Amino acid sequence: MKTINVKSMIPSREECGCSLPHDKTLREVVIGRGIIDDLPRFLDILNVGKPIAVFYDKITFKVVGEKIVKLVNGLGFDVAEPTFREAEKKTILTEGTQTVIAVGGGTVIDVAKYAAYKHMAPFITIPTALSHDGIVSPIVSLFSESGRKSIVTKAPIFSLIDLDIVSTAPKILFSSGFGDLLAKVVSIKDWQLGRDEAGEEYCYTAEKYTMKALEIILDCLKAGQAKDYGKLAEALIYSGVSMMIVGSSRPASGSEHLFSHYLDMYSPNRAPHGIQCALGTLPTSLYHEMYNPNWWKNPDYSWRQLKKYMEKAEIPLNLRQLGIPIEIAVKALVYSPEIRQERITILHKRRPTEEEALQLLRETQLA
């Protein structure tokens, strides 16, 4: 079993030299095989209160949710849909809860994170897939009446990643995890645009952990170890930690994530989050290469090389095959900056025309 002692990894604001929160809510993450049975022991060490609300969905209940409810003698709650309305409903239902445990992927984690935040209760995540970096981040991303919205809540205090559990998830979800991490090549450069063009606060500690996440998976993919789920888990944690440090998704979410958000809102078919972010990463990294003099000099981070890494991670990269209309992808590159006008990215700095957007998709062979 690998233990990541997160608390000790984060310097103070003064030591870092930035004015961002440097939150240390997440104390520890454990990653290993068959460690779920140790959960009661970890809860004892964490000294969390009861009653414990355990959130899951129909699928994760069968995978391990039912077992966890028994293990911790908790109350079970079935999450139905990825909306703020559902999160509000579950918050009311779990009134009086002292601890919240999420057993699942994105939706369950986000709904439970929201309820824990409203109750000011310690929050624990037990992922059933390694598909995105929200496992330990403080960000909740759900649908509201006007589309997908992200809000900042609180990170979990603890996360237990049992590799025997996550390895039962569909293969496409691992590819999604790699995609969400490869996207950081763009998101970090978009953040630097904000720093350089608008004097936005920047944190080198957060940058360090985002880059560490990226290096871990690039080493994996270079060595042909796209199935090293322990390494993927670790990388997703480091990316989540960087968001916790700055109290926003800024290090981990740039123009490539806006592209994905746009598809979430307007495409008739959707692919898992990290797959859509990987799709967005190719045209936006090419666009950075064309117009951002501060783009990476490291040839490992060129869009061509990124595409090779994506292929190694078995990320499907053909819009047509994924059922995403080319016109929608074009519009995503042109209009997604409007989703988040205050956050500067390469698409904000130089809005492409529809013609240019189509050219970017053609050159990167997405279309």
Give the chain's radius of gyration (CA, Å): 20
Q: How far is the CB of 260 from Zn ion (least distance, A)?
A: 7
Q: How far is the CB of 16 from Zn ion (least distance, A)?
A: 3
Choice between 9 and 16, CB closer to Zn ion: 16
Q: Tokens standing for 213? A: 């996440």
Choice between 182 and 203, CB closer to Zn ion: 203
Residues 263-282 close enough to bind Zn ion by CB under 5 A? none
Distances (CA, A) of 68 to 9, 31, 54, 77, 316: 29, 17, 8, 12, 34
Concatenating the DSSP letter of every residue in 39-88 gives HHHHHHHHT--SSEEEEE-HHHIIIIIHHHHHHHT-EEEE---SBHHHHH
Choice between 205 and 336, CB closer to Zn ion: 205
Q: How far is the CB of 239 from Zn ion (least distance, A)?
A: 8
Q: What is the sign, positive or negative, of the torsion defined by CA atoms of 219, 109, 209, 251?
A: positive
Q: How far is the CB of 25 from Zn ion (least distance, A)?
A: 16
- Which residue of 16, 71, 211, 290 would you call a contact of Zn ion, by CB under 5 A? 16
- Which residue of 18, 53, 54, 220 would you call a contact of Zn ion, by CB under 5 A? 18
Among 172, 84, 190, which residue's Cα sits nearest to residue 132?
Answer: 172
Q: Do 298 and 310 form a contact (C-beta atoms < 8 A)?
A: no
Choice between 18 and 160, CB closer to Zn ion: 18
Q: How far is the CB of 38 from Zn ion (least distance, A)?
A: 29
Stretch that binds Zn ion, among 13-21, 76-84, 113-121, 297-305 (CB under 5 A): 13-21
Q: How far is the CB of 277 from Zn ion (least distance, A)?
A: 5
Q: What is the sign, positive or negative, of the torsion defined by CA atoms of 243, 249, 254, 258?
A: positive
Choice between 15 and 164, CB closer to Zn ion: 15
Residues 6+ apart with CB under 8 A from 349: 193, 197, 291, 292
Residues 148-207 close enough to bind Zn ion by CB under 5 A? 180, 203, 205
Q: Does 9 bind Zn ion (CB under 5 A)?
A: no
Q: What single-letter amino acid sits at 204?
A: Y
Choice between 97 and 276, CB closer to Zn ion: 276
Choice between 48 and 186, CB closer to Zn ion: 186
Residues 205-224 close enough to bind Zn ion by CB under 5 A? 205
Choice between 218 and 277, CB closer to Zn ion: 277
Among 345, 43, 320, 338, which residue's Cα sits nearest to residue 188?
Answer: 345
Q: Do 162 and 264 form a contact (C-beta atoms < 8 A)?
A: no
Give helix 354-363 / helix 326-335 axis angle, nearest 10°: 120
Q: How far is the CB of 92 from Zn ion (least distance, A)?
A: 29
Give the Cα separation of 270 and 323 in Å (integer). 8
Choice between 54 and 246, CB closer to Zn ion: 246
Q: Do 278 and 179 form a contact (C-beta atoms < 8 A)?
A: yes
Q: What single-letter amino acid sits at 39?
A: L
Total chain residues near Zn ion (CB under 5 A) = 5
Which residue ranges make up the site for Zn ion (CB under 5 A)? 16, 18, 180, 203, 205
